């Protein structure tokens, strides 16, 4: 009887131990531990676009929650808002939603660096932009536009000049005559003696005479003096100067006028005038090429531009075009002198008039 009670107690102890072990296993082993919740911190961002040099105010700011691990020391938190709005301005334009850092703001008392116009960033390092006058013909019928790739051709006129006077040949001439010496007297032993200086006379015509040359007539065997019938004719040469030049802008850039003029409301029924045709083009060239183009522009050289494929980056060697090159390259014969000719006489080549050509009448 006593032994039976002992067994019952042992079984109860075992059962209670199993229950306690099961509960402990469910409580500490099977139940997952709660993950640590991350800590978020409010940092300041731009609530609106802030221009360069714009004052930093609370109205222009808002906050954004970031995990503490992602917050950097250069960011502004709620505890540092006083330092952010204390006489601070934007160093450069800040877009809406940008996180404000210490490198983006500076004291209003210090100078704000000026980055220049936004289109200046389109110019590659080591290059520069310059403008040239243009018209419908030089712009390939306005086929050239922003971002186009072009070649630049130039035509020049050459004349012969006197290297000393730096004037166009032939020079003008004057008549120099002599009337002998001052006096000639006889002398024993020598026959005569010269006393005094020669007397010379210089005569210049009203308009001067062109310097010519002396030639011999083969038929009469008589010399005659040739003078030019007109001024020297210039000799023209054309050549490709630059290849694969990028166009930055066709026409004028927009600018902000210093004074704003009140614009009268336009009549909705009135026909609006078409925009003016562009008369200027801005190119991206090297500094040396910009100097070359400036020289050509101020020497009245005729500059034309040809459109090319932007994917074509090849450079082609070209021959300069002169009258001799045209005759030899394209097998153009010099016309023979015939005993007949066309009537009326052709002394100039006139381009045909196009219907949309604009005729400019000079001011009287």
Per residue in 51-104, pLDDT (tens digit) is 878 888 888 899 888 888 888 888 888 888 888 888 888 888 888 989 999 888
Q: Which two tokens stand for residue 125?
A: 């390092």
Q: Between these two residues, 183 and 242, which has the higher pLDDT value? A: 242
325 falls within a domain:
yes
Determine the Cα–Cα distance for residues 334 and 73; give it in Å rounded to an integer.
Answer: 84
Each residue's pLDDT tens digit, 308-344: 999 998 999 999 999 999 999 999 999 999 999 888 8
- Provide the mean pLDDT of the chain: 81
- Confidence at residue 342, expressed as pLDDT on a 0 to 100 scale: 87
Same domain, 128 and 158: yes
Same domain, 142 and 287: yes
Mean pLDDT, residues 193-205 taken together? 53
Mean pLDDT, residues 203-214 taken together? 66
93 falls within a domain:
yes
DSSP 3-state of 107: strand
C-alpha dist (Å) from residue 219 to 226, 227, 296: 16, 20, 49
Mean pLDDT, residues 330-359 taken together? 85
**Number of folded domains that form the chain:** 2
Determine the Cα–Cα distance for residues 280 and 205; give it in Å rounded to an integer.
Answer: 48
Kindly indicate the confidence band of residue 264, based on its pLDDT and cuts at 50, 70 and 90.
low
Same domain, 67 and 102: yes
321 falls within a domain:
yes
Question: Which residues constitute the domain of residue 50?
Answer: 40-107
Global pTM exceeds 0.85? no
Listed in sequence order, the residues at least 6 apart from 123 whose beta carbon sits closer than 8 Å to its beta carbon are: 129, 248, 284
184 falls within a domain:
no
Mean pLDDT, residues 337-361 taken together? 81
DSSP 3-state of 20: helix
Same domain, 125 and 237: yes
Mean pLDDT, residues 176-183 taken together? 55
Lowest mean pLDDT among 107-121, 159-173, 346-360: 107-121
- Confidence at residue 291, expressed as pLDDT on a 0 to 100 scale: 96
Determine the Cα–Cα distance for residues 115 and 123; give it in Å rounded to an integer.
Answer: 13
Same domain, 244 and 297: yes
Mean pLDDT, residues 31-44 taken together? 72
265 falls within a domain:
no
Kindly indicate the confidence band of residue 117, based on its pLDDT and cuts at 50, 70 and 90.
confident
Same domain, 128 and 238: yes
Same domain, 132 and 166: yes
What is the DSSP secondary structure assignment for residue 94, as one 8-state letter?
A: B
| Predicted confidence (pLDDT) at residue 175 exceeds the cutoff of 70 | no
Maximal C-alpha separation, the chain: 195
Same domain, 44 and 132: no
Q: Which two tokens stand for residue 161?
A: 């000049």
Same domain, 120 and 57: no
Domain boundary among 59, 75, 107: 107
Lowest mean pLDDT among 191-205, 259-273, 324-338: 191-205
227 falls within a domain:
no
Helices (H) and strands (E) in the chain, counts: 4, 15
Same domain, 245 and 154: yes
- Confidence at residue 200, expressed as pLDDT on a 0 to 100 scale: 54
326 falls within a domain:
yes
């Amino acid at each position: 009887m006593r032994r039976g009670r002992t067994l019952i107690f042992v079984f109860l102890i075992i059962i209670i131990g199993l229950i306690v072990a099961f509960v402990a296993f469910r409580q500490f082993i099977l139940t997952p531990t709660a993950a640590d919740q991350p800590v978020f911190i409010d940092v300041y961002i731009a609530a609106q676009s802030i221009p360069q040099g714009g004052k930093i105010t609370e109205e222009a700011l808002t906050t954004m929650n970031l995990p503490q691990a992602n917050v950097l020391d250069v960011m502004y938190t709620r505890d540092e808002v006083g330092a952010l709005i204390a006489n601070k301005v934007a160093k450069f334009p800040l877009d809406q939603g940008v996180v404000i850092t210490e490198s983006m703001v500076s004291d209003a008392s210090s100078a704000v660096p000026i980055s220049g116009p936004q289109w200046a960033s389109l110019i590659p390092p080591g290059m520069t932009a310059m403008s040239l006058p243009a018209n419908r013909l030089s712009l390939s019928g306005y086929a050239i536009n922003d971002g186009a790739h072009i070649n630049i051709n130039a035509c020049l006129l050459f004349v012969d000049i006197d290297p000393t006077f730096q004037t166009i040949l032939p020079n003008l001439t004057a008549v120099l005559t002599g009337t002998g010496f001052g006096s000639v007297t006889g002398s024993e032993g020598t026959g005569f003696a010269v006393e005094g200086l020669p007397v010379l006379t210089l005569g210049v015509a009203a308009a001067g005479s062109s310097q010519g040359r002396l030639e011999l007539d083969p038929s009469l065997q008589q010399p005659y003096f040739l003078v030019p019938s007109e001024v020297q004719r210039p000799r023209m040469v054309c050549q490709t100067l630059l290849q694969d030049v990028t166009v930055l802008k066709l026409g004028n850039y927009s600018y902000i006028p210093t004074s704003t003029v009140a614009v009268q409301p336009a009549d909705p029924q009135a026909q609006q005038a078409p925009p003016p045709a562009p008369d200027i083009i801005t190119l991206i060239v090297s500094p040396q090429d910009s100097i070359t183009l400036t020289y050509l522009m101020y020497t009245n050289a005729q500059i034309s531009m040809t459109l090319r494929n932007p994917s074509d980056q090849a450079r082609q060697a070209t021959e300069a075009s002169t009258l001799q090159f045209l005759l030899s390259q394209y097998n153009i014969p010099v016309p023979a002198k015939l005993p007949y000719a066309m009537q009326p006489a052709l002394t100039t080549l006139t381009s045909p008039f196009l219907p949309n050509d604009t005729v400019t009448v000079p001011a009287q």
